[in-house]
Amino acid sequence: MSKVQEYLRKRRISELPKIWIVISDRNGVEKPVEYQVTEIIEGVSIQLPIGSRVDRYKLDSSPFNVDILDGETSGKDEGYGSGIGDLWGWTNYGTLSKEEAYNYYLTELTRVTDRYLTL
């Protein structure tokens, strides 16, 4: 990639929004981390039955993509797994708002602490 192409790419990316990611699992909750969006893919799917479009936000230096329903400011990817006889959940939460990220962080920290980290 030439220097001009690299400059244009960086300039295009700098005009895109930033996203805040909160990652949680049974071991705890990570504080919100800000990532630069490198690409927005509009309309990757349609959520039925309401027919709303889902946009995918690709991030720089993060293994996660964030899918956000049209008109919303956040998206969440949840899953469950099992270890040695137990069931636990994990969540990757992404939002365009720093305040929403910190509010979710506090709520999720309380949930994880109550569910997994207390005896």
pLDDT in tens, 8-48: 777 887 888 999 999 998 888 999 999 999 888 888 877 66
Which residues make Cβ contacts (< 8 Å) with residue 49, sequence separation at least 6?
none
- Measured CA to CA, the distance from residue 59 to residue 39 in angstroms comes to 7
Q: Looking at the domain assignment, is residue 8 inside a domain?
A: no
Confidence (pLDDT) at 119: 58
Q: Looking at the domain assignment, is residue 97 inside a domain?
A: yes
Residue 58, domain extent: 17-116
Better-predicted residue by pLDDT, 1 or 69: 69
Confidence (pLDDT) at 9: 78
Q: Looking at the domain assignment, is residue 86 inside a domain?
A: yes
Please name the helix (run of DSSP H) or strand (run of DSSP E) that holds residue 113, with its range, or none.
Answer: helix 98-116
Q: Is the dihedral of CA 10, 13, 19, 24 positive or negative?
A: negative
- Measured CA to CA, the distance from residue 13 to residue 34 in angstroms comes to 14
* Number of domains, the chain: 1
Better-predicted residue by pLDDT, 105 or 84: 105
Closest to 100 measured CA to CA, from 74, 68, 76, 66: 74
Q: Looking at the domain assignment, is residue 2 inside a domain?
A: no
How big is the chain by its Cα radius of gyration, in Å? 17
Q: Looking at the domain assignment, is residue 48 inside a domain?
A: yes
Better-predicted residue by pLDDT, 2 or 97: 97
Q: Looking at the domain assignment, is residue 21 inside a domain?
A: yes
Q: Looking at the domain assignment, is residue 11 inside a domain?
A: no
The two structure tokens encoding residue 34 = 């800000």
Q: Is the dihedral of CA 9, 14, 24, 74 positive or negative?
A: negative
Q: Looking at the domain assignment, is residue 1 inside a domain?
A: no
The dihedral region occupied by 24, where left means phi > 0, alpha psi between -120 and 50, and beta the remainder, is beta
